[in-house]
Structure 1
């Protein structure tokens, strides 16, 4: 076994096969749909993502829960007992208590196993933004970088990880308190689509608005064109809320404009999808700043 493993949580939204290929340990967050609890495993073993979005569209109520300290300790302790160090790369503290749980678990386990290294990093990222940081961290690990070097790189570069989002249904943002009821009502009537990003504190904030779905997708590409570092050399990540065709359109537009060749396209999972809704489109890349 490797001298250290990378641990994360399911809000990273990485496709299941990619997470397996990257040799990650992934802890599931939970969601409560219509009063029943499900675990958000990346392989969708408890609920297919299509069913989740069908039920959300039908108006079933849903809430989410963070990974708790005990779950982290249960997953990490057997690794430490085998003599393996741990780097946890966690969901934004600005959106979830998951990083707080990870940090507490790491501190307690580091005290119990003084010969081992147990680190937690707050990505200040969400969905495939978190996934992209993890993907890049694994590439560094495979290139022979130490756990300290990878941890340091993630800390130093996480605020270069650009997140740009749009949503199709404003009512989900209204329920989450991101916009007012009046804004949702009039925005829906006028076909207004918000453009949002994740800021340096890891919060999802509105940055603008456009009229029409296609214009909102083009706005995401516009932001990348304005701020990406050497985009043609990057692997760009795109996540979508049950709207694969729109994700393919966005990828095509980015390829046409900026010569990007490599993409990872995946679903916005239930943890983010509960709050952003079907039709969410999110774009992730490295830039000069968020």
Structure 2
């Protein structure tokens, strides 16, 4: 059975690689895949090594492309936001070409409970991410899916420096266009209390709260609230007056910052 599954995956990858070749990319390796498509590391003749996101057209939300264009036009030179370079389309797929990040995501730290970030590295990462979020919000967008897995890490070859980059704009939308939430967007442990109300007015504050949860997660390797369902998570958050300080956070200044982020909603 496992061999059959592996064969199906391999066949799928071969199909995507053929799509890349038809679009004049040189496929290198798959970086990740989901129900709607795949992300590949590939070589582009003009831009060099890039990440190519291939999405089934019937599953593609045009708002991701609209947000990508806004980011490219208004925040292209911010090193802390993933730049969408350009896009293409084929008969069946929408293809997004974005910057390639050569390290991992913040889950590299969040999912290793034996590993604690030195304070100077943590401060640097937090400063970069907060600056990226500030510039992102200046465009008028709400990300709506900030989480560890959507913040990538990149080390430009030969620099010895690591940059955190906010990525994945699939749920992003202009704040002025969001009157009431018509569907749930986000990832359960990172969602703010108001995101559990279907008629809630969604603002950029939900991103600030999600950043607080993201920082909490990479520091403590856990979530302040984690329930198995959307309904239970929303109910639990509604019952809480505030998030208690975990024993892992000893620094008063750090906890003061996190408290402000988490009390933002």
Query: Do both share a fold (TM > 0.5)?
Result: no
Pairwise TM-score range, normalised by the shorter structure: under 0.3
Greater strand fraction, Structure 1 or Structure 2: 1
Larger RCO: 1 or 2 (CA < 8 Å, sep 6+): 1
Per the normalisation by structure 2, the TM-score is 0.25
